[in-house]
Amino acid sequence: MADRDGRGFLWFLAGLGIGAAVGLIFAPKSGEEVLQDIREVARESSDTIRKRARQAREQASDWAEKGREYANQQTEQVRSAYKARRKAYREASSKKVEGHHTKRSIAQPPVQGEAASGPIAPLWNAGPVLAG
């Protein structure tokens, strides 16, 4: 328990004084200084956000450009492949081999008077099948 002669109260006052002194030494900044710090942090954050947004727009623009270039390359490759195949088909279909067209559907019957060729030629050349 506390001393009856007042020593406890003196220790309380001493602790209060030491605490007040330490509090003043390590006291937080004044309200104006805190507001200035908040404004500074907000400005820096705003600048950082703007900078990152600009970088993101530039990168998105670069990616879009690369995508367009890739799509154009692929389109050109498909177009040139299509033209080459069309040319090859026209050349092949215009050639005649022993009086026959080189390009004919398997299921297409031979022209009147000519023999069928290909994998189902025996069926076409056998004549009509009579149902019995």
76 neighbors 83 (Cβ within 8 angstroms): no
In the chain, count H helices and then E strands: 3, 2
- What is the spatial distance between Cα 116 and Cα 86, in angstroms, rounded to a whole number? 26
Can you give the pLDDT at residue 115?
57
| pLDDT digits 0-9 by tens, 96-120 | 544 555 555 555 555 555 555 555 5
For the beta carbon of residue 120, count every other beta carbon within 10 angstroms: 13
pLDDT average, residue stretch 16-27: 76
Confidence tier at 7 by pLDDT (50, 70, 90): confident
- The bridge status of strand 96-97 relative to strand 100-101 is antiparallel
For the beta carbon of residue 116, count every other beta carbon within 10 angstroms: 19
Can you give the pLDDT at residue 92?
83
Helices (H), the chain: 7-25, 31-94, 121-125
Confidence tier at 132 by pLDDT (50, 70, 90): very low
Enter the tokens of residue 115.
């023999």
| pLDDT digits 0-9 by tens, 44-100 | 888 888 898 899 999 999 999 999 999 999 999 999 999 999 988 888 887 754 455
Single pTM value for the model: 0.39
Q: What is the DSSP letter of 28?
A: P
Can you give the pLDDT at residue 98?
44
